Amino acid sequence: MNLTPNAMKVLQKRYLKKDDSGAPIETPHDLFKRISRFVASADLNYGKGVSEIEALDGEFYELMTSLSFLPNSPTLMNAGRRLGQLSACFVLPVEDSMESIFEAVKNAALIHKSGGGTGFSFSRLRPKGDVVGSTKGVSSGPVSFMAVFDTATEAVKQGGTRRGANMAIVRVDHPDILDFTTCKDNSERLNNFNISVALTEQFMNALEAGAQYELINPRNGNVVKRLDAASVFEVIVKHAWKNGEPGIVFLDRLNESNPTPMVGEIEATNPCGEQPLLPYESCNLGSINLAKMVRPVSGSKQSALPDDRLSFEIDYQRLKHTTHKAVHFLDNVIDLNKYPLKAIEDMTKGNRKIGLGVMGWADMLIQLGIPYNSEQAIELAGEVIKTIRQEGRNASEELAQQRGTFPNYKGSIYDGTIKMRNATITTIAPTGTLSIIAGCSSGIEPIFAVCYVRNVLEGTRLIEVNPYFEAIAKQQGFYGEKLMQTTAGSASISGISEIPAEVRRVFVTAHDITPEYHVRMQAAFQKYVDNAVSKTVNFPSAATVDDVKQVYMQAYKLGCKGVTVYRDGSRDAQVLSTTPKVQPATAAPVDVKAVKVTPRKRPKTIKGSTEAMLTGCGNLYVTVNLDENGVPFEVFNHIGKAGGCAASQSEAIGRLVSLALRCNIVIDEVIKQLKGISCHQPIWTNGGKISSCSDAIAKAIEQYNAEGQDAHGGNGDKYTENMLVGACPECGGCVEHEGGCSVCHDCGFTKCE
């Protein structure tokens, strides 16, 4: 088993069994053996003997330890353990009653506790201001109830390993659609939700015709208003341009490929949008590592790279074998799963959906010498996923012959054509921590950078080079520490002349690829995917609203089931993985020992203001004083009547912040260091979540700086969370935006996998 140091770090932190002190009590070998033995045991239910189970155990173990295939995180964490919840994603219904709403809140909490993510459609809730018959009052609308789900999610820590992720979807013809579209304008709200607007064919037809469309009250089906489709679309697009949300899903398209329409209608997806599910349905996901599905070719040279290494081709035989074993594995997981609700167990076993996807796609292309943004790559994407879908269906058909079709087979889209064990086979999910364990690129995303800076220990940062790039650089003689350092500060190598042009052409990053090619790649995979495709369409920071609009329309015309966009620098929690550019080699060296900074002396008289902040330790009073030029100069903190540690820590923070300001440290940098620090007593206020006293101090200073800057200047630009580049909330490492989610490649933190 060839695990990278980062893979070991993630396994130890998130997946290996631990004792009461938090120390791992199993090795990676033990973990994969635990999973393979447990998953193979399901075959006992189908008449297999002990020797056959042992052989299957070995096959599943080899499948994972060769890093050819990995199941989703809940299966890695919980297979063969007491919790036993193995599904990654769920959809829960939310009907138009208080009983249903709070039943869904309770059920979501149970799912989050067990390690799953949840999707909801809030389209059935009556609009804001609508009559409530039982009380003669008025409804507060879907968005207000989303806040209840968000708060509950924040309060539940998922088995000590993952925090819950949610997807909220509202139909475009809901009367509150504009409130929903703009609900995340306040960055302090709904941070545990991804949001997507469900676009209907009726809306898209009205949009293309330049016409109006109807808003319908879900309580009674009455038309309450008509809106201009283009105007609504403009609001959706502008907000996606502004901060990446909302995404969009094409609702009627999801239902066109619903394999069991007689069972129910699809209204929602899982948190990253790739898994449309019926109410109370769950799905088990897994990914084939395409980086392992290649083999060297003797004879003719097929690689586009100008070197003497062996050329590679796709090993379709291995891909087919891996697909069959993966389908068998995932079908077994359905039987062994401990479902959090009986309704979920019944619906999941009724359809037996699995979601087999891929990771390492960019790595496969690099080995083949094919640029990601090329016609050859688009064509190859269709061939690879078509093979997986066909072989996956063949495997499911074989299982159906042995075990029977899924119970809801009669009346399904397969009825009378092909016997299937599983209602769906393929899904392209974000792979997040799975790709770290496998040591490959994430999902079907391009590589984010050729060189990264990793936080390996407290205060220790190392440059990590893409192994394929490193091998070529050394082979062709352009490898050097200085070049690697320069490359590590760059999200693209396209302008680095020391690297040969053909190498630059193959090692394209997310920043080199036009949005149109991102969509085309997604569409190429979607053509042969039963469910949907999780993929981020990256835009440069200079992209316009019209650029985003064109991509949304392109995704619709090319047959995508949804699309998520991300404009560089737009999202509040900006996520990048590369460091700022290093200084040019011609810059004069700095003698650090010679640099001395003396704090400015305090004037005799100084003015300021005090902000009261509610924290988990009580009321915290933050006073910010200004110098004679109206620039923040010092900070004093007083925490209610508290004494001891809370008071001393608060005073210490104030002294250090004051020292930093008096040494002319930019106030934005001070806020950046304090904001988001968590303690064991977070609290929710009207202004949002206060994670700790440190967080409260930062937010008080931030608020003061934002409000007073126009009047009295300040010693830095207005603070925004965009400055928190690469800030992982758990380890402070670099975080990347990928597959509609975000993941830290240092510790494996992810919002939604």
How much is the CA Rg of the chain, to the nearest whole Å? 27
**Using CB atoms within 10 A of its CB, is residue 711 exposed (0-12), middle (13-18) or buried (19+)?**
exposed
725 contacts 417 by C-beta, under 8 angstroms:
no
DSSP, collapsed to helix, strand or coil, labels residue 456 as strand
Residues in Cβ contact with 396 at an 8 Å cutoff, skipping those fewer than 6 apart: 327, 331, 420, 421, 422, 425
DSSP character at residue 291: G
**Catalytic hit among 274, 391, 445, 634:** 274
Instruction: Give the whole-angstrom CA distance, residue 753 versus residue 739.
Output: 10
At position 482, the amino acid (one-letter code) is K
CA quadruple 425, 429, 433, 436: dihedral, nearest 10: 90
Beta carbons within 10 angstroms of residue 488's beta carbon:
23
582: closest CA among 487, 649, 656? 487
Active site residue 274: yes
For 375, left (φ over 0), alpha (ψ -120 to 50), or beta? alpha
First-to-last alpha carbon distance for the chain, in angstroms, is 24
DSSP, collapsed to helix, strand or coil, labels residue 341 as coil
**Catalytic hit among 258, 270, 337, 455:** 270
DSSP character at residue 580: P
Could you tell me the maximum CA-CA distance found in the chain, to the nearest angstrom? Answer: 89
424: closest CA among 256, 283, 271? 283
At position 180, the amino acid (one-letter code) is F
Active site residue 693: no
Counting other chains too, the contacts that 618-625 makes at CB distance below 8 Å and 24 or more residues apart are 618/642, 618/646, 620/650, 620/693, 620/696, 620/697, 620/700, 622/696, 622/697, 622/700, 622/701, 624/700, 624/701, 624/704
φ/ψ of residue 188, rounded to 5:
-90, -5
DSSP, collapsed to helix, strand or coil, labels residue 17 as coil
43 contacts 80 by C-beta, under 8 angstroms:
no
Provide the CA 686 distance to its chain's centre, in angstroms.
27
DSSP states of 422-469: -S--B-B---HHHHHHHTS--TTPPBS-SEEEEEEETTEEEEEE-HHH
**Catalytic hit among 89, 183, 272, 283:** 272
Instruction: Give the whole-angstrom CA distance, residue 142 versus residue 101.
Output: 10
Active-site residue list: 270, 272, 274
